[in-house]
Amino acid sequence: MNLPGLFFITVGLFAMAGAIFNWDWFMNSRKARFMVRILTRNGARIFYSFLGLTLFILGLLGTIGIIDMSN
């Protein structure tokens, strides 16, 4: 079982869900407000969707053993 890979999958799904479902509490968090201020809310949603997708793919590749995440 690759725990770092599963962690990346979980965080990636969480970021994508926050962006796709446009959760106010997600977009109004302190760190997300910075991205909303720079990119507008829709731009921040796109950013977090791609960030989440990237983390999900990295976690998936790490979990199935294509990427070594042991270090």
H or E segment to which residue 32 belongs: helix 30-63
What confidence score (pLDDT) does residue 53 get?
98
Residue 64, token pair as written in the block = 């199935």
What confidence score (pLDDT) does residue 6 get?
95
Residues of the chain with confidence (pLDDT) below 50: none
What confidence score (pLDDT) does residue 36 get?
95
What is the DSSP-derived secondary structure letter of residue 67? Answer: S
Residue of 29, 27, 31 lying closest to 42 (CA atoms): 27
What confidence score (pLDDT) does residue 69 get?
86
Sequence ranges of the domains in the chain: 3-63
